[in-house]
A and B are shown apart, each in its own frame.
Chain A
Amino acid sequence: MVRFENVGLRYGMGPEILRDVYLELAPGSFHFLTGPSGAGKSSLLSLLYVARRPTRGIVTMFGRDLATIPRGELPGLRRQIGVVFQEFRLLPHLSALDNVALPLRVAGLPEEKVKDHVVELLTWVGLGGHLHAKPATLSGGQQQRVAIARAVITRPRLLLADEPTGNVDDRIALRLMHLFEELHRLGTTVLIATHNTALIARARHPELRLDAGRITHVPRAA
């Protein structure tokens, strides 16, 4: 599914943020990505959701070398990846419904199908009463749930989440984890970057630890 070989990443002429990263996410696996702040988790995730290419090494996504994929084929690749950004990145002028519908519309799904899917999912994450609310009127936790709904609405092959339970209470965190588990059960490969040790302990999935730009603990693929 995803394979990193000797990957390095630096921004401009700065120091390497990621160094000699070897990583393999098998299809249908579930991992947690942990590490102190500044360890490079967000940078690693940005490589995984194809926001940038590595400065060295080989990144293989869905069996294809990222360095050789033509630019025109990147949208198709990215549509197979769902991302929950730490800062949510919701479009402020769109309602919760339109934010969640965006990946479906971008993929060209007929409008009549879009709404049913989105309403059902937003209701499931407890936002059925906020379909037309703009992000600014939603709490941090509600915005996070909209962001999660947007990431999973296309039922991606790979789900990446950056602190997806950081702004919600335990009850909602548990519910969101059930959502991730459900997607995992349906075949989605999941990688969650988190500091929530209780969540990691409860879920019992393998943990990748990133420290000073290196993955220091690489478990066997689940």
Chain B
Amino acid sequence: MPGIDQPLDLLRRIGLAAGPGPALRLRQARSRLRVDLIVAAMAFLAALAFAGVLTVTDQASRWRASLSGNLTVEIPNDSQQMPAVLAMLRATPGVVRAEPLARSEVAQLLAPWLGTSALVETLPVPQLVDVTLRPGAVIDSSVLAQRLGETAPGTTVDDHGRWVGQLLRLARLASLTALVIVAVVALSAMIAVTITTRAGLALHHEAIDLLHLIGAEDRYIAREFGREALWLGLRGSLLGIALAIVALYVLLALAPALDSVLIPSLAPRPLSIAALALVAVVAAALCGFTAWATVMAELRKRM
């Protein structure tokens, strides 16, 4: 770009860095109003909540992927139609595998509830067929059950829809709760920035009056406040997010039992960390914009 020979020049031109001798000594106010520490605390909470959203969303999609590619067909215990049912299933478009579960495997599935007693073997538990579908294949389980029922009456097909639905509803609720927390934290941070900006305006009112009298537009003054809040917000949010990542790893190290099949892993993935970095940028921009908008609104009340 012509005329811009240093990165600082570029930042100055787009209003992100002060020109030589910024008109307001906002850095002095910073020592009184540690908005960066407030933002750090807010960003810490927001990052934890946001990490929760990412983890739950990720886990929910994995639940859906792992369960939606399977069907379980239950044939009454006394039915002799297993071979016919298997043949029908294997001939069904979208089915890549249909294998009956051995009684021992069924007993193993029931073990958590009925124990491992030999008596279980004698119970009239239904015969199960584990069906694997081609990825993306959609099979109407009720239509399939009706077809199979004509051959082996009493046969049912479970596509785990109820189970997946409940899990997904739970995941959605958890995500929504976390997003509400992020929104509340963002709102609190904006209120904190508004209050500190107003305090800054009061602290610098003489300099601001002078700037107005020599012809400064509101946006000239607002830019200084916005710029300062942006950098403080970026610093604070990076600090808060870094602490949140450390906290997640510490939590993971202290509670390995949490990393089980159903409870999502708390370990932040690279993509999550990148998303959290984006949160830092958004938080900084929010701080900068809030300060800028506060100054513009306050100055508009003056002559």
The chain A residues found within 8 Å of chain B, CB to CB, are 49-53, 71-72, 74-76, 78-79, 83, 89, 91, 93-95, 97-98, 101-103, 105-107, 111, 150
Contacts and interface: CB of A to CB of B under 8 A. Distances in A.
Interface stretch (B16-24, B76-84, B87-95): B16-24
Interface in B183-226: 206-207, 209-217, 220
A66 to B, nearest CB: 10
Given A74-B212, A91-B207, A94-B21, 10 more contacts: A51-B213, A52-B303, A72-B217, A75-B212, A78-B212, A91-B23, A97-B21, A106-B214, A107-B215, A111-B19
B2 to A, nearest CB: 13
Interface of B: 19-21, 23, 25, 28, 206-207, 209-217, 220, 300, 303
A91 B217 CA distance: 18
A53 B302 CA distance: 11
Contacts of A107: 215
B213 A98 contact: no
A74 to B, nearest CB: 7
A75 B215 contact: yes
B114 to A, nearest CB: 80
Contacts of A75: 212, 215-217
8 contacts: A75-B212, A75-B216, A78-B215, A83-B214, A91-B210, A95-B21, A98-B21, A101-B20
B211 A106 contact: yes
A94 B210 contact: no
A101 B217 CA distance: 16
Nearest to A46: B213
Contacts of B215: 75-76, 78-79, 103, 106-107
Contact of A101 (B21, B25, B209, B303): B21
Contacts of B210: 89, 91
A79 B23 CA distance: 16
Q: Across the A-B interface, give the 8 residue pairs with the lowest CB-CB distance, nearest first.
A: A98-B21, A79-B215, A93-B25, A78-B215, A106-B216, A103-B214, A75-B215, A75-B217
A150 B28 CA distance: 24
A55 to B, nearest CB: 13
Contact of B213 (A76, A78, A91): A78
B23 A102 contact: yes
A150 B21 CA distance: 15
B6 to A, nearest CB: 12
A79 B20 contact: no
A180 B217 CA distance: 27
Contacts of A49: 213
Given A102-B214, A106-B214, A94 B23 contact: yes
B302 to A, nearest CB: 9
A83 B303 CA distance: 17
B217 to A, nearest CB: 5
B164 to A, nearest CB: 58
A214 to B, nearest CB: 24
Nearest to A92: B25
Contacts of A111: 19-20
B220 A106 contact: yes
Contacts of A71: 300, 303
A74 B214 contact: no
A8 to B, nearest CB: 17
A79 B209 CA distance: 14
A78 B21 CA distance: 22
B300 A98 contact: no
Most B C-beta atoms less than 10 A away, residue of A49, A89, A91, A94: A91
Contacts of A97: 21
A76 B220 CA distance: 13
A112 to B, nearest CB: 10
Contacts of B300: 71
B303 A89 contact: no
A91 B19 CA distance: 16
